[in-house]
Structure 1
Amino acid sequence: MTRSERAMQVWQILVGVAHNRQTLTYGQVAEHLEFEGAGVLAQILNCIMCYCQAKGLPPLTCLVVNQTTGLPGTGLTTVQNLPTDREAVYKQNWFALYPAQISDFEPYA
């Protein structure tokens, strides 16, 4: 599966998580995808982060956090103020948006 296809899978997971005002650990996301570990998620999450930034959307990736710290990874460069950004993600009506497509993530893969 390509990175763009994986980004689409994670996008769908995170939209549901945002709707329920939740967060997931990197391990939980990896588990959903049946990955052996969470180390491969950085590039996939980067696709989503860049797409959100390009579309002027709140940083959906701020909902994925380290199990120990409860914070997104340091590579999540779009997060300026985590509580504010997370609330913006929760308030965004993701289901009202035109659905993202695999091809939307390809420029960032």
Structure 2
Amino acid sequence: MTISERACQIWSILAWVAKNRQSLTFDLLSKLIGVPTAGLEHLLEPINAFCILNNLPLLTVLVVQTDSGLPDSKLTGTKASDIAKNQADVFNYNWLDYGNPQPKGFEGVIKIDLPDNLKGRNIREKIIPTVCNLNNMLDKLKSAKGNTSLLKPWEKISYKAYRIDEIQKKLFNSKMRFSMMLQLSQNTRTAGPDPKESPARLSGASLALAERCA
């Protein structure tokens, strides 16, 4: 079954539970539909989104945790002080008359088209390794004593993008090499090397930093 079909299945159960002014636990719902408890949140999210987009009471507040008897706040966003009111809103709504959204109704909230650009720059082109990767790569390079063959594939991407090969000798010959590593990663913390920058300029900036630490 698809996620949308599972959501329809769960919707019918919750609508009937609401009619009887009851709640049910994640464990019970898991047994009713034959899905592990760990996978329920993923299936409840489309129902949650559908209710929000259509200004309906949150049906998902009827699914509660076994130990506390409370809904999952991460899923529903419901504060403890609002649970009773939100559940009452669900109980008072005529879900049987509203009907089941059917898979197509849930597919509309599952598929969300995100923009492919940010401030005029395509998010799928000229991908820049994150500063976190840079810092981890430098630590790995240090422990590997400069042997780049020991770097992981994603670490090699960061190594190449920041042109570390051009300053590696100075980096490891420096008495302050650890401080230099830290400073290098902090100086690029805002966004890493800008794709608009020329390789020579990037390399020159890194080399100047290495020379100050030598």
TM-score (normalizing by structure 1): 0.92
- Provide the aligned C-alpha RMSD in A: 1.3
Identity %, equivalent residues: 36
Segments of structure 2 that go 5 or more residues without pairing to the other structure are 111-214
Segments of structure 1 that go 5 or more residues without pairing to the other structure are none
Matched residue SS, 2:74: coil
Q: Which has the higher contact order (CA 8 A, sep 6+)?
A: 1
Kindly tell me: are residues 66 and 98 of structure 1, through their superposed partners in 2, closer, same or farther at Cα, counting changes over 3 Å? Answer: closer
Q: How does 1:1-109 map to 2 (within 5 A)?
A: 1-35=1-35, 37-80=36-79, 81-109=82-110
Report how many aligned residue pairs link the two structures: 108
Does the 8 Å CA contact 2:26/2:37 hold for their aligned counterparts? yes
Does the 8 Å CA contact 2:21/2:91 hold for their aligned counterparts? yes
Does the 8 Å CA contact 2:61/2:83 hold for their aligned counterparts? yes
User: In structure 1, what residue type is equivalent to 2:108?
Assistant: P
Q: In structure 2, what is the Cα distance between the partners aligned to 1:84 and 1:67?
A: 20
Q: In structure 2, what is the Cα distance between the partners aligned to 1:17 and 1:88?
A: 13
TM-score (normalizing by structure 2): 0.48
Q: In structure 1, what is the Cα distance between the partners aligned to 2:42 and 2:108?
A: 12
